[in-house]
């Protein structure tokens, strides 16, 4: 957050004001009503210099990921490619959620449905069902972690019953990925209650509920599985297996400012300097 920024907090609950950060001003009430009134009073904004600066930063610091092996970033780029950027993407919560935000090039509003920082594991499948019902001519893809999928995977039966052509991509690393990432980076690898490697077969589970189940462990297998899923008229679950220690970059340490974000390369360089 910019240190000199002026912050206005809008909240219907006065108790929330200044709860996490100190604000310059506060407005108590319904956010929709307040924003509508503010829009009436504000002139159209442009911010061309800021947008140009952001574009330069994207070129200077592009997002990257390993050239080999199946990974979350690769899958999101492939989903974008195979859907021509026209899909509606929903997510659960965790690493896959971050990858979905980073690597799918959104160009239209309301095409990314996610619970943001609310941490609602299980949100994505319900959102995908709703989005597919509301947009029968669109391709809806729920990008989910295996931990989140377990929260309400029974709703696959609902998608089957309604004959919805949604695609569920399970980013299966057999762990609670984001929690493990924190335990790895900030808690000396003290892994606790994050391992999910208990033999659940998501392909068989999909078939038991009447959906199509596919599995991918390589890039080639994922490309073929997703292409096949696009041709199927009912729900498809793709069990996409990735490494349990794949991480989301860049990362910000707890309590640190955004200006101190770091990557895997930064960690390697710091280790080599010791």
Omega within 30 of 0 (cis) for the link into 63: no
In this structure, are residues 177 and 198 in contact, taking their beta carbons and an 8 Å threshold?
no
Closest CA to 156 of 200, 204, 190, 109: 204
pLDDT of amino acid 258: 85
87-136 pLDDT tens trace: 999 999 999 999 999 999 999 999 999 999 899 999 999 999 999 999 99
Question: 72-82 and 219-230 helices cross at what angle (nearest 10)?
Answer: 40
- Cα 89 to Cα 161: distance, rounded to the nearest angstrom: 21
Give the pair of three-digit tokens for residue 57.
């930063």
Enter the pTM of the model. 0.88
Report residue 197's pLDDT band, with 50, 70 and 90 as the boundaries: confident
Q: What token pair was written down for 94?
A: 């965790």
Cβ-Cβ contacts under 8 Å for 53 (sequence gap 6 or more): none
Q: Pick from 101, 76, 95: which is nearest to 145 by CA?
A: 95
pLDDT at 271 over 80: no
- Rounded CA separation 45/43 (Å): 6
DSSP at 135? -
8 A C-beta contact, residue 210 and residue 159: no
85, β-bridge pairs: none
Evaluate if residue 273 carries a pLDDT over 90: no
8 prior amide bond cis, ω within 30: no
The predicted structure's pLDDT at residue 2? 64
Q: How many CB atoms lie within 10 A of CB 174?
A: 19
Tokens of 233: 């008229």
**Cβ–Cβ < 8 Å for 124, 91:** yes
Q: Domain spans of the chain?
A: 8-59, 67-241
Instruction: Dump strand ranges (E) for the chain.
Output: 8-11, 25-28, 88-91, 112-113, 140-145, 167-172, 212-216, 236-241
Among 3.10.620.30, 3.40.50.10170, 3.40.50.970, 1.10.645.10, name the CATH number for the domain at 67-241.
3.40.50.970
Q: What is the pLDDT of residue 87?
A: 98
CA distance 86 to 93: 22
Torsion on CA atoms 147, 114, 59, 272, rounded to nearest 10: -30
Each residue's pLDDT tens digit, 137-162: 999 999 999 999 999 999 999 999 99
Instruction: Please say if the pLDDT value at position 208 is more than 60.
Output: yes
């Amino acid at each position: 957050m910019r240190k000199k920024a002026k912050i206005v907090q809008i909240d219907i609950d006065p108790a929330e004001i200044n709860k996490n950060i100190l604000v310059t001003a506060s407005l108590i009430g319904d956010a929709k009503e307040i924003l509508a009134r503010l829009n009436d009073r504000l002139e159209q904004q442009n911010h061309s210099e800021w947008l140009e600066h952001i574009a330069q930063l994207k070129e200077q610091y592009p997002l990257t990921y390993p050239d080999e092996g199946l990974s979350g970033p690769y899958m999101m780029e492939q989903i974008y490619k195979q859907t021509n950027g026209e899909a509606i993407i929903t997510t659960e919560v965790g690493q896959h959620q971050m990858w979905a935000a980073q690597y799918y090039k959104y160009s239209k509003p309301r095409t990314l449905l996610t619970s943001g920082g609310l941490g609602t594991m299980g949100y994505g499948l319900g959102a995908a069902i709703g989005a597919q019902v509301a947009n029968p001519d669109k391709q809806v893809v729920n990008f989910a972690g295996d931990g989140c999928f377990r929260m309400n995977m029974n709703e696959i039966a609902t998608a089957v019953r309604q004959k919805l052509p949604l695609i569920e991509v399970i980013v299966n690393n057999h762990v609670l990925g984001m929690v493990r990432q924190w335990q790895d980076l900030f808690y000396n690898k003290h892994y606790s209650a994050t391992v999910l490697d208990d033999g659940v077969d998501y392909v068989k589970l999909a078939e038991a509920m009447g959906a199509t189940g596919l599995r991918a462990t390589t890039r080639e297998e994922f490309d073929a599985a997703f292409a096949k899923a696009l041709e199927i008229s009912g729900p498809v679950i793709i069990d996409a297996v990735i490494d349990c220690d794949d991480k989301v970059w860049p990362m910000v340490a707890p309590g640190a400012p955004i200006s101190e974000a770091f990557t895997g390369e930064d960690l390697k360089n710091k280790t080599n300097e010791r």
